[in-house]
Chains A and B, each alone.
Chain A
Amino acid sequence: GAGVSQTPSNKVTEKGKYVELRCDPISGHTALYWYRQSLGQGPEFLIYFQGTGAADDSGLPNDRFFAVRPEGSVSTLKIQRTERGDSAVYLCASSPGTSPQNEQFFGPGTRLTVL
């Protein structure tokens, strides 16, 4: 079956621009997670959704970052006024629920480069 998909796979933008990154989770998965990963580091948690609501957004670094999941399926991560330090791979994952026993299924990521 189809896994988690993310678009675009690569995004190059200029400092100060606005970007949107999209995540299509596995159908029926209620939980959706966003992470970002810098070279040589493990994924860094940003936010997770249970259904349409953000259950924990404690990982968002500042108010330039925002994520939505209006219908409880597709999610969009939005970054305003991008900075060079935002360059990273942005990973999305989904799981059937939010108990620790629910493994997370990760997408391939979107590589964001801010020039």
Chain B
Amino acid sequence: LAKTTQPISMDSYEGQEVNITCSHNNIATNDYITWYQQFPSQGPRFIIQGYKTKVTNEVASLFIPADRKSSTLSLPRVSLSDTAVYYCLVGDMDNYGQNFVFGPGTRLSVLP
């Protein structure tokens, strides 16, 4: 049973806000929600992490509803350089290998 489900791909235009939603219906009490970004030929890069409510940093915002069964990564005013694959992970360090599954991610294409 997959821990997370997210769209395979999304298209956007420069300057728009992009929201990528991840479903994690079976999230456990101790699980955190983490998002990574990956450019071609590079390793993934941490974007943001949260447990509940809203988290914001200089790059993105993460919205988590009260039931924590989903989360939404929000990228404000995207640019061409935001074209990448975005991964949503949920888990804690118990049984790490079973929990921290990257999945295929969401391929975001930002168009001019």
The reply to whether the CB of A91 lies closer than 8 angstroms to some CB of chain B is yes
> How far apart are the CA atoms of A98 and B93 in the complex, in Å?
7
A-B contact count (CB 8 A): 64
- Contact yes or no, B43 A100, CB < 8 A: no
Please encode chain B, from 42 to 78, with 1 for each CB lying within 8 Å of some chain A CB and 0 for all others: 1111100100000000000000000000000000000
A58-115: which residues lie under 8 A (CB-CB) from chain B?
58-59, 91, 93, 98-101, 103-109
- Contact yes or no, A100 B104, CB < 8 A: no
Please encode chain B, from 69 to 109, with 1 for each CB lying within 8 Å of some chain A CB and 0 for all others: 00000000000000001010001110111101111110000
| B: contact size bracket | 20 to 34
Which of chain B's residues have a CB closer than 8 A to the CB of A44? 102
> How far apart are the CA atoms of A9 and B9 in the complex, in Å?
29
Q: List 22 A-B contacts (CB under 8 A).
A: A40-B104, A42-B87, A42-B104, A43-B102, A45-B96, A56-B95, A91-B44, A93-B43, A93-B44, A98-B93, A98-B96, A99-B93, A100-B31, A100-B91, A103-B49, A104-B46, A105-B46, A106-B43, A106-B44, A106-B45, A108-B41, A108-B43
Q: Which residues in B have some Cβ–Cβ distance to A below 8 Å?
A: 31-32, 34, 41-46, 49, 85, 87, 91-93, 95-98, 100-105
